[in-house]
Each structure stands twice: as structure tokens, then as C-alpha cells.
């Protein structure tokens, strides 16, 4: 679609926050995937593996919450990492019904390898977008993905009813 077509649109295309964020996320995802290409893994897998490290062997539920994913989507994303021996599910020692997510030694090594490639992509983003704008964007996106924003958004719907 040409830029002129976008300007002549009915306004929804350029006005919709959800569509704009999804388009941006898809493009950034593609760019970060290209940066991670040497590893054979995707940027989403790097993010997931990094969150596992950051959360120190979280439960599956806690990991889903941290990633703002439902359990089935998380399971779908974890499957290839488990299959490839990078991630394992282990019983929670305090509650045997719960499973914890842990990187294997191979997973730790791959996550560390990917960290350098991620940093290169991050630096290119900051250079292209501007460091200050990039920091502001990350703060805004962190708020948008927070439980507080979700609660406020849902409350606004209730107030409109």
C-alpha cells in the first residue's frame, strides 16, 4: 500500500493503536530475527530464554504472566526449545503439580551466545531511532504491557457501560 493510500484511508488504519503496535512489533520481530539468524533461533525464543534466566526458574504460570502470554501460547513457544534440549520442565519441589521452567546447560550457552547478537540489534535500534526516544518507547511499552494498564483499560470499558 502506497503512502498516499494510507493518507486516504478511512482513518482506522493510522488511528488504531492496536494495529500500529502490532505492525511495529512484526517489523521489529523480523529485524531482531535477522540479527539472531546465526543462532538458528528467533528473537522471541531469546526473549523467552532470557525471561527464564531473569525469573530464576519460574513456574509455567509465572513465566506466562511475565511474558503476557496465555498458557497455550507459551506451551507452543516452549515446545521447540524443549525438543532441542535448551529448556526443560521440572517439578516444583514445593508443589509437585506445578512445573518450573529451566534452561539446560546447552540453553544457558545459547542464551549467552544470543545476548551479544541481541546487543548488536539493540544498539542498531537505538542508533536508528535515537537513544532518548528508544528509552521513552521502552517505558511506554512497559506500561502498556503492565497489569495496571490492563486494569485501567478494563475499568474504562466498565465506566462507559
pLDDT tens column, 47-91: 999 999 999 999 999 999 999 999 999 999 999 999 999 999 999
Structural domains counted in the chain = 1
Q: Show Cβ contacts of residue 73 under 8 Å, excluding neighbours closer than 6 positions.
A: 64
pTM score: 0.80
Length of the chain (residues):
161
The pLDDT assigned to 51 comes to 96
Q: How many CB atoms sit inside 10 A of residue 49's CB?
A: 23
Is residue 57 a part of any domain in this protein? yes
- Let me know: does 105 contact 87? Beta carbons within 8 Å: no
Q: Let me know if residue 140 belongs to a domain.
A: no
Residue pair 52/89 in contact by the 8 Å Cβ criterion: no
What cell numbers appear for 158 in the block? 466498565
Does some domain include residue 152?
no
Range of the domain at 79: 3-126
* 27 inside domain: yes
Give me the CATH number covering residue 84. 1.10.10.10
Which pLDDT belongs to residue 39? 87
Amino acid at each position: 500500500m502506497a503512502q498516499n493510500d494510507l493518507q486516504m484511508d478511512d482513518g482506522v488504519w493510522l488511528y488504531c493503536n492496536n494495529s500500529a503496535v502490532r505492525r511495529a512489533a512484526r517489523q521489529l520481530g523480523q529485524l531482531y530475527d535477522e540479527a539472531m539468524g546465526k543462532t538458528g533461533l528467533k528473537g522471541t525464543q531469546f526473549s523467552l530464554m532470557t525471561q527464564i534466566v531473569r525469573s530464576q526458574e519460574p513456574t509455567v504460570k509465572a513465566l506466562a504472566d511475565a511474558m503476557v502470554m496465555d498458557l497455550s501460547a507459551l506451551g507452543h513457544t516452549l515446545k521447540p526449545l524443549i525438543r532441542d534440549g535448551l529448556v526443560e520442565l521440572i517439578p516444583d519441589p514445593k508443589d509437585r503439580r506445578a512445573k518450573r521452567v529451566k534452561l539446560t546447560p546447552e540453553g544457558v550457552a545459547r542464551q549467552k551466545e544470543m545476548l551479544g547478537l541481541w546487543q548488536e540489534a539493540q544498539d542498531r535500534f537505538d542508533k536508528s531511532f535515537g537513544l532518548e526516544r528508544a528509552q521513552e518507547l521502552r517505558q511506554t511499552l512497559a506500561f502498556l504491557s503492565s497489569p495496571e494498564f490492563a486494569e485501567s483499560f478494563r475499568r474504562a470499558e466498565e465506566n462507559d457501560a
